[in-house]
Amino acid sequence: MSRLKDPNIIRLLAVCIYSDPLCMITEYMENGDLNQFLSRHEPEGHLALLSNTPTVSFSNLCYMATQIASGMKYLSSLKFVHRDLATRNCL
């Protein structure tokens, strides 16, 4: 996995495989995973204006989707199968 080099794939810095639990060290992602980010934000719109919750625009959501698709296309081009694409795994 350390050979993966794409702006839409998180960098793997180190792996511990000698004892349980197995651990991976990746680059730091300030906003956590996509699931955490989306749970802290509301889509821009009428109801979002009534709360103090941060919003995310439709165009930003579309951009995030294209980044995910681009990362998956890159993995596919290397014959790499992810097997668990979920918001909790998008950093």
Peptide bond into 21 cis (omega under 30): yes
In degrees and rounded to multiples of 5, residue 90 shows phi and psi of -100, 115
- Is residue 91 within 8 A of residue 33, CB to CB? The reply is yes
Annotated catalytic sites, by residue? 84
> Following CA atoms 15, 18, 22, 23 in sequence, which dihedral angle do they give, to the nearest 10 degrees?
-30
